Amino acid sequence: MPAIPATSVANLRDLGGLPLGGGRSVRSGLVLRSAQLDRLEPEEPAVAGLKLRTVVDLRTAAERADRPDRLPQDARLLVADVLADHLAASGLPPAARLKTLLTDPALAERHLGGGRIREAMRRTYRAFVTSDSARASYRALLTELGTPGAGPLLFHCTAGKDRTGWAATVVLALLGADEAVVREEYLGVNPAVRQAFAPMIEGFVTQGGDPELALAMIGVLPDYLDAGLEEVADRHGSMEAYVRDGLGVPDELTELIRERLTVYAA
């Protein structure tokens, strides 16, 4: 799924067009994902053409205060803080510290080396499924997607990869995408994220930093997604049951989401 070529917002993509099986695909122009919108230029043609009506911000209060969203005119903002219950216990550095760690390989190794970053990320993805704040946030997103007039809707976090990636995974799985499509979409952020951080990664490695550690910090890895999917399977048995019982989204709303977001090939 190629990124939309906007210069004022990173990692902007439309889920539309992704295959769902049975001759169906995701309807274009209704559900989009991106990184933070602090530099968004609403008049940029690539942005203005989206005609966004709703923005769902998955970031923490500190992230929002540091880099508040800029919204298109008439777009409505919904705050859904996924990590409110989890960040302090996650073992992850605040987003603002990530750039600091990428400039200091010794500090990064001390805090996140030896597999600690990957284990912290796996814990975080499991918390996407279990924590009260995450469940409330993803329930709010799905409720918006099932609300007539809410779209086109864009959801985002800071880099648009983890909290946003899990949201896209839930939406696609709920619509009927198979595992290969879900995984390809999830991992598809890596080129954009690596490009955005390329100078910092190069500097990190030049100073003796482990490139695998850098990529584990700034990108997404299959085992991060695996942790979330395993948590869903262990606790609920299926994505539909997770959405219904874990998130509290009734089946009637799920059907509305499917009706709004799917289209059959001509």
> Strands 262-264, 24-26: parallel, antiparallel or unpaired by DSSP?
antiparallel
Token representation of residue 214: 């850098």
User: Do 57 and 156 meet the contact criterion of CB atoms below 8 Å apart?
Assistant: yes
Question: pLDDT value at position 96?
Answer: 44
pLDDT in tens, the chain (266 residues): 678 989 999 999 999 999 998 889 999 999 999 999 999 999 999 999 999 999 999 999 989 999 999 999 889 999 999 999 876 555 555 554 667 788 888 888 888 888 888 998 999 999 999 999 999 999 999 999 998 877 799 999 998 999 999 999 999 999 999 999 999 999 999 988 888 888 888 888 999 989 888 888 888 999 999 999 999 999 999 999 999 999 999 999 999 999 999 998 76
Q: How far apart are CA 6 and CA 70, in angstroms?
A: 14
